[in-house]
Structure 1
């Protein structure tokens, strides 16, 4: 369940990143394709699409017009992607619990991360803090979903 909790923290900061790292883990066969539509993530075009959407979200975050992550649609997206990723990382018999844990941690992390980012932006600006946050979120997401990729073990 710890991986479901942690991927929820990632989803709380970037809504699409969990799908991109789950696609990577599914393609690398680090996690089994047991969820509906998860076999689609093995398709290179679909996997590349999730990565492109995650990159677009990260780029959009640097724009002055970017909405806060705590707006209702942002929380909804984070909840859905956290649920899917949390279920994908949970043990076979605990998929629903994994989804619930991930959603809970995503929603809490959205508010905490928003407050932290607001404070950092006041001192360092939107772009710099966004790049730092992206690096942490993407790196953590990859490590959570793909531990063999990070450890170098095949």
Structure 2
């Protein structure tokens, strides 16, 4: 798969300088040329105003303002960056964390240690398979995949003749 990432701006928010270097190097290897970095959520919010990113790659656990808090601030319909795709990076992959990521409005979750292949797959996913945003009293963010997949099933079977597959 060949994606042209040269015209996109990536914002990498990660407290580890080493991990920022790894992410930047991988993104550059994929052809990205505009990569802005921040070392915590507070400086990440400031960087968003300067960088106007197309994709946000965000560590979950950081000092000052963690990734989850940053996403809560961004995923507000009045925020100019509310619709930016978010790829959350974490070493904590327990089920409760994955469910929380879904509730926060994360597009993709990337587990540490990360591989170039896994990062590329997540970036490709947010570019090639954009998700519509949903607003309910308790949620604002990308439509959950289950809803998107269910819509595809119904569209593939006109007249509501679903194939019986659970989404």
TM-score (normalised: structure 1): 0.30
Greater Cα radius of gyration, structure 1 or 2: 2
More helix by share: 1
TM-score (normalised: structure 2): 0.29
More strand by share: 2
